[in-house]
Amino acid sequence: QKRGGCNVAIGCGALHGHQDNEESLHNVVAIGVNAGFCATTTNHSIFIGTNAGCKVTTGTSNIALGNGSLKCTTTGSHNVVLGSSTGNQIGSCGCNVFMGYLAGSIGGSSHNVAIGNRAGASLGGSLGGSDSGNRGGHNIMFGQCAGYSLFCGGQNFLAGVSAGGCS
């Protein structure tokens, strides 16, 4: 780390960063093998678990707890994900809360809440990007597999086991 401060990195590859960048990290906690591995200006974030937030480069104010959580997220900000492989393909989407194994795992849209194993797993179809508003968003899903088949839908409330479909 070339610049920055108030960071904690525990584990092989934690907060490794890219050698070609002027890293400027502040207030980041990364615990686990490759946790926060690509972080460059990822400030005010917490990554705990193997590969948690390992591809996040500039996304800020994220909390990822669980192996592989926020794994393929790059610039997405203001996400809170709890559980193994949760929110692992959010890309550049933000303002999501995903809790439970594989909840929001594809998660290519913003402003969603998915709580339960595999809840909201297919949101946005792993597209990420700045046009995430065109692929749904503003959804609330509670229960195992709630919203599992929801790809581009927006402004939905789904509650109960398999509400919105499990394949």
pLDDT given for residue 167 in this prediction: 52
pLDDT given for residue 1 in this prediction: 45
Residue 57: both structure tokens together: 């480069």
Q: Is the pLDDT of residue 28 over 90?
A: yes
- Which backbone phi and psi does 125 adopt, to 5 degrees? 60, 35
Amino acid at 144: Q
State the virtual CA torsion across 59, 64, 66, 68 in degrees, nearest 10.
-10
Average pLDDT over residues 49-76: 94
Q: What is the DSSP letter of 137?
A: B
Average pLDDT of the chain, as a whole number: 87
Amino acid at 107: G
Model confidence band, residue 128 (pLDDT cutoffs 50, 70, 90):
very low
Average pLDDT over residues 87-110: 90
Average pLDDT over residues 147-157: 88
